[in-house]
Amino acid sequence: MPLLRQRRFPRARKSVGAARVFVIETLREWGYDDRHDDIRLCVSELATNAVLHGVPPGREFALVLTGDDAFIRVEVRDSGDGVPEVREGGVEHCGGRGLRLVKALSDDFGVTTHTPGKTVWTVFKTVQTVTDAQLPCQVSGSPRP
């Protein structure tokens, strides 16, 4: 059964750091111990884009995290106009590399449009480590399955 957690963040620069913390804490709690650097960077890029380009003033963006065995899916949804595109900018450009990084670091990436807004999502292949808290209850003295 997939694991699901979501949180809303205000249109503020501090939300980018809060989104990173939320995702990494959730992954650790769920027993996903690898790909943290890739996922953290991609969450940072997607949240930054939502704050700078996608969230109208006074609104929020939603971050949805799904863990499904060997996959982590990260979704950032906002109510802003436009569809983000991966740009092929040169080294002389100051910005525009975020989605290129997301596409390069993740195993899948896309945009789903809504009315209003859109969801930018990315998927990572990973490994979930089963913790004692995730194992079924056992009677004292009985062996684990």
- Distance of alpha carbon 122 from alpha carbon 8, whole angstroms: 18
Domain 3-134 fold: Heat Shock Protein 90 (3.30.565)
Radius of gyration of the chain (CA): 17
Number of Cβ within 10 Å of residue 31's Cβ equals: 15
| Percent with pLDDT over 70 in the chain | 83
| Residue 86 pLDDT | 78
**Model confidence band, residue 141 (pLDDT cutoffs 50, 70, 90):** very low
> pLDDT tens digits, residue range 91-135?
565 556 789 999 999 999 999 999 999 999 999 999 888 654 455
Orientation angle between helical segments 98-105 and 36-49, nearest 10 degrees: 150
| Residue 134 pLDDT | 52
Average pLDDT over residues 65-69: 95
Q: Write down the domain spans for the chain.
A: 3-134
